[in-house]
Structures are given as C-alpha cells and as structure tokens.
Chain A
Amino acid sequence: MVDVSDAKIRELEEKARLLRRHILKMTHQVQSGHPGGSMSACDIVTALYFHLLRVDPENPRWPERDRFVMSKGHACPVLYAALAERGFFPVEELMTFRRINSRLQGHPEYGTTPGVENAAGAEGQGLSFSVGLALGARLDRKAWRVYCLMGDGEQDVGQTWEAALSGAKYTLDNLTAFIDRNGIQQEGRTEEILPLEPLGDKWKAFGWNVLTINGHDMRQILHAIDEAHAHKGQPSVIIAKTTKGKGVSFMENVVKYHGAATSDEELRRALAELGEARP
C-alpha cells in the first residue's frame, strides 16, 4: 500500500489546481480546445506526473522511463500543463497552445513535444498503442510500465475493444489503463449517445482487472494504481468516476465545456474559484 502523507496529498491537490488554471488560460487565449475533459482527468494526470511516473525531464527519451499514453488526445491541455510544470518545457510555452508554429498542437504530436509519447486525436487508438509498448517492455524484460488514459467517449470505438481483447490475451500486467468516466461526450451524455453501462462488467468480461474509484480523490487514485501494480496476470483498468469541468462550479457537468473555451468574465470567475491570487 502506498504510504502517502497528508501533506503530500495536499501538495498534489494544490498542483492539480495549478494545472486546472493552466488549462483554462491555455484554452482561453486561443478560444478553442477542450477544457472540460482536461479538467476531469486532471487529478489522475497530476498523480501520475507528480508522484508516480519515473520520467526525466532533462532526458525525455530516457529508455527506462515509464510511458504515459494520452489516448483521449483532445484533453492534451492537461498533459501539456503537467509536462511544463514537471520541467519538460517552459511554462510560458503553454500560452502558444494551438497557435501557429507552436510545439503544442491542438492534439498531441509524437516526436515534437518533449515528453509526449504518442499521437492522438482520432479516438480509440491509444490503448492498442499501449499494448504494443507493454509487449515491447516485456520482450526486453524491462521494468518500465505503461499507463494509458482513455476517455469514456472512446469506449464507443471498436478499436478500444480490440485492444482490450489483446491486452487480456497477452496478460499484460505491466499495463494500467484509466477511463476518465465523466459521462459526457461531444454531443451529450454518454448514456444517451451510446449507452456504456455496465462498463466495469464489460471490462471484467474482457479479461481485465477492474478497479472503480472517485477520480478526484487523490488518495483513491494512488491506492488504485498501487493495487493495479500488485495484480499479476492481467492488465488493470481503473474506472475513475469524474466530473467534466471539475473544479469550476459553472463548468461542472456542462456539455458545452467539452469543446468550448471560457469568456473573459468566465475565466476571471473560474480562476478565482481555483484559488488564483488576484493581480
């Protein structure tokens, strides 16, 4: 079991608030991008980048690093914010997001942005990519692990389930997947667009070790990852129940903020809620 102090938890929570502020500013400055799903995944990404992943910002291609695969590519603002705060590139660069000549593309580009491990945007490809990485690690008897973050909208995609079958076939216990289960996709509620429940039963039936948590509770996130590591002979999937737009009262659970940036006034209110000191 992870033994994490209350102080460390508070530090991670504060870091997550900082990343949320970045997400809002990045999408606001260009008036596009996907804040809602970035904010729902924010606590998971924070736990990984600021507590768990063995990565080296000075050497982003360090061969022994853990791999984080962002399958829900539209939520890249949270990844870029984490990478910047982790020291992979300057924090000021975040404000070039989606602008011409930027390294921070609207959806992740492989090979350009330090720390980004995959190209994503067309949904549903990241888990298969992660299966390949995990197979490669195992072939070479490497200790590094693979983490894949999927959206719940991606559970609509056939390839997600092809990857699920493959992960189980090859008993990839060095692979841990997350589903950011915020319940909202571009056009509405997941259960109205293409019902997914019982989602955990589906993954269990596909041969995965299934853990279900509150994806905004830092301690639950860390415990679940710990359990996934301890589980042998199967890949694990952590279904993280989350809230789209988490952290800003008027954005929470609102479909619109899947793909809409805040106005000037909304940004001011949102940043205040997220504890940004007034200038």
Chain B
Amino acid sequence: MTTHGAIPWKMESQRAYFAKALIELGERNANVVVIGADTTESIRTLEFGRKFPDRFFNVGISEQNMISVSAGLCAAGKLAFAATYAIFGVAHTYNVIRQNIAYTKLPLKIFCSHAGLTVGPDGATHQLNEDIALMRGLPNMTVLVPADGPQTGKAVHAAAEWPGPLYCRFSRSNFPTVTSIEDEFEIGPAYVLRDGSDVTLAACGVMVSRCLQAAEELDAEGISARVINVSTAKPLDSATLIRAARETGAIVTAEEHTTVHGLGAAIASAVVRHHPVPMEFVGVQDVFGESGEAYELLEKYGLTANEIVAAAHDVLKRRGG
C-alpha cells in the first residue's frame, strides 16, 4: 500500500503522460506504430508522429478504417497503438473491433481520450459513458481505466508488454494526480489506496480521487473506508474485491460511466457469487450528458464525494452495522 498525498492534489493532463510514454516507447522499440483519425494534435499522438513520421498514420475521419488498418499492421507484426476520442474510437467502431481485434486476438492497443462526461462543453454526442461496458463485453478484450496522469503513462508501457487486445480510456480534462510516479502499475491488480474496515469505496478514473475525498469525510464521522483503485476493469481483480466485501461488509462503487452495465455492475457480479454485501452505485444514472464544464457536469450528474458519502451511509444502514 502507498500513502496518498494531501488534498488538494495537483491537476494534470492524462494526454500529456500518454504522449510522453508513447514517445519513450517509440524510442525503445522501433516496431511501434501509431494510427490516428484526425484528432492527433488534440490527443497528442502527433508528437509521436513528428518524431517518427514513418511509423505514424493519420487516416482521417475514418475510425472503422483506422481499426482495421491497425489490425492489418498487427497481423504484419507491428506493435500498433490506435488512438482517438472514445466516442469515435470504440462506439462508432464496435463491430470492427469485435471482428478484427477481439475475435482475431490481434494485439492492438486502443487508447481513447475524451471518455465520459468530462469531455465537457462538446456535450452528449461526445460524452461516451458506455465504453467500459462495450469493451468489457467483448471476449479477449482487456480494459484499463487509469485514475490519473501517471497511471496513464504506465498503462502505455504495460500495454506494450500485454499479449492481447486492449482498450484504455482516459479523459480530456485534467484529473487530480492521486498516485505517484513511484507507484507500481500492472494490468490486473486493483490497488488499495487507503485501508479501512467499515465500508469499501471501489472506483476507476476520476472517481478514485472523489472516493479518497469521501473517505476523509467519512473518517471525520468515525467511519473507516477502504479505497480501491480498480484501474483494470477487465480482467477484474475479483480476489481483492471479494476480500474487501468480506472484511468491510459493504461496498460503494463509483465511475464516470453508466451504472447500467459498468464497473459497479461488474464488481457486483463478482462479489455476489462469493460474499454478497449491500452495494450502491455512484455513476451516470442511465441518462445522456449535456454541455457544461467538466466539473460542473460531475456535480450535476451526482459524481461527487458527497454522493459517495451518502451512498456509504446507505449501505451501512442496510448492513445494520
């Protein structure tokens, strides 16, 4: 376990860490190629492209084509990263990913920025709150949701070593940096950021920081909350989550994603088979988003530390503890 810094945290860009890690990887491995779709300056893969122009392909606004071209590059032996905004990269392309990547097991790494509500002013057409569900549902697919910038950079390096298809979602907005550069990051483990015995707060992405805030507030009330960063949404670290259910007896999940079939639902289905406990689900409640600043949207749609605290009270009441 690591200790996690004082609030307020530094706000940092996941894209910046992503871009830097891609270049480090490109320098180390001449086999790395990057494919983009007319968002390369925005998500900063263009920085890789400027450095390695021969290994960079911008195919324009043709995301289905981007995925299949990337699959072909994988089949030719390249270590390929396809990257764009989540709404285009995995929603518009779902069946192409299904047929050309998941079914084939070609080890494409799909990295998408601009996931979730925190896209902000672009509005609901661009705010994909269903991607964890879409990608988790595909056989052979691995799904990462880094909590912050440092984890996003490490996800790039971990993905490069990962043998199969992989999707990694991150945000357009700067997120609180809740992990440190020294922290370990592997695909698979869920990381306990704060120990606790009364309730578990399990989250991914920006909601990890909000769970840490909620844990502070609960602590002031004398409630000991365990905070788990589920940075790998698939394969799920069931062992850590079931242990948390057993040891704390109540779980609140939090995600910047629909609760209909997101991380919380995945955790529930793992926990319910082994050690059912009262659960609550903080996240987007089966609605579309709208225009607004990222942090205004998180407030309006209930993705806040206050909601997590309220949900913790609720599960504790139901547990009768």
Contact = CB atoms under 8 A, between A and B. Distances in A.
Interface in A249-273: none
Interface string A155-192: 00011001101100110000000000000000000000
B62 A166 contact: yes
A139 interface: yes
Interface residues of B, number: 30
A119 B68 CA distance: 11
Given A132-B68, A132-B71, A139-B78, A119 B103 contact: yes
Interface of A: 63, 67, 109-111, 117-122, 125-126, 128-137, 139-140, 158-159, 162-163, 165-166, 169-170
B21 to A, nearest CB: 22
Contacts of A163: 65, 68-69
Contact of B95 (A122, A130, A133, A137): A122
Contact of A139 (B55, B70, B100): B55
Given A165-B60, A170-B57, 10 more contacts: A119-B104, A122-B95, A128-B68, A131-B65, A132-B70, A132-B80, A135-B72, A136-B75, A136-B77, A162-B60
B33 interface: yes
B73 A119 contact: no
Main secondary structure, interface of B, reads helix
A166 B69 contact: yes
A270 B160 CA distance: 53
Nearest to B105: A111
Nearest to A135: B73
B76 A137 contact: yes
B59, B67, B72 pick with most chain A CB within 10 angstroms: B72
B64 interface: yes
B277 interface: no
Contact of A140 (B57, B69, B75, B76): B76
26 contacts: A109-B103, A110-B75, A110-B103, A111-B105, A121-B99, A122-B96, A122-B99, A125-B64, A128-B71, A129-B71, A129-B75, A131-B69, A132-B72, A132-B74, A132-B75, A132-B80, A133-B72, A135-B57, A135-B69, A135-B73, A136-B72, A136-B73, A136-B75, A140-B76, A159-B96, A162-B59
B161 interface: no
A166 B77 CA distance: 20
Interface in B63-120: 64-65, 67-78, 80, 95-96, 99-100, 103-106
B103 A132 contact: no
A125 B75 contact: no
Nearest to B95: A122
Nearest to A107: B99
B41 interface: no
Contact of B62 (A121, A122, A130, A162): A162
B54 interface: yes
Nearest to B76: A136
3 closest Cβ pairs, A-B complex:
A132-B72, A136-B76, A128-B68
B76 A132 contact: yes
Nearest to A136: B76
Given A111-B105, A125-B68, A128-B65, A120 B99 contact: yes
A111 B65 CA distance: 21
A129 B68 contact: yes
